[in-house]
Amino acid sequence: MMCGATRGATRVTWRRFVQRGQSVAEVALVTPLLLLLLLGAIEIGRFAYYGIEVSGAARAAVQYGAQSLADSKDINGITQAARNDAPEVAGLNVSAIDRCACSNTPSNFVGCPALLCPKGHALVYLQVDTTARIKPLFRFPGLSSTFPAHGHAIMRVAQ
């Protein structure tokens, strides 16, 4: 009788050992996929963050330049305002141009200065575009080594 009791205990122990081995094998197969998903989520978060930063830099630059007509011509000040707003974005490129429109049709931009405004006066707008190339933390096969981030802002210049 002792012998039968020992045999039953051995079978239960052997089943537990097999189940533990199966669990280890499943974890070993799923872990690389989960890590790849985690790295992808981190990269998407970084790109979203840098996209927001580049857009915010465009808004800060246009706010600086829209204070007056003199400030709208200060390209160095506009560029510095953008870089101050996004200091962690390396290689931030800033471009600013004046755009003019007539007060009766403010959505139709004309060349500056707007001399031919039949029923209104000329309005000056400042447009700032920012760009940066963002490098991913991890190199994924088949994907580019850098990704572009763009910002765009336009605001009426105080006159």
pLDDT confidence of residue 49: 96
Comparison of pLDDT for 66 and 10, the residue scoring more: 66
Task: Residue 122: give the domain boundaries.
Answer: 2-156
Task: Give 1-50 pLDDT, tens digit per residue.
Answer: 555 555 555 665 656 655 677 888 888 899 999 998 999 899 999 999 99
The answer to whether the CB of 54 falls within 8 A of the CB of 86 is yes
Check residue 118 and give its pLDDT.
73
Residue indicated by tokens 């049709």: 105
Question: Dihedrals φ, ψ of 156, to 5°?
Answer: -75, 135
Q: Are the C-beta atoms of residues 71 and 64 closer than 8 Å to each other?
A: yes
Tens digit of pLDDT for each residue in 67-99?
Answer: 999 999 999 999 999 999 999 999 999 999 988
Tokens of 99: 């755009």
Which pTM was predicted? 0.77
CA distance 128 to 62: 6
Number of domains in the chain: 1
Instruction: Tell which residue, 75, 92, 88, has the closest CA to residue 148.
Output: 92
Comparing 132 with 25, the larger pLDDT belongs to: 132
* Contacts of residue 72, Cβ cutoff 8 Å, sequence gap at least 6: 65, 66, 96, 98, 124, 126, 157
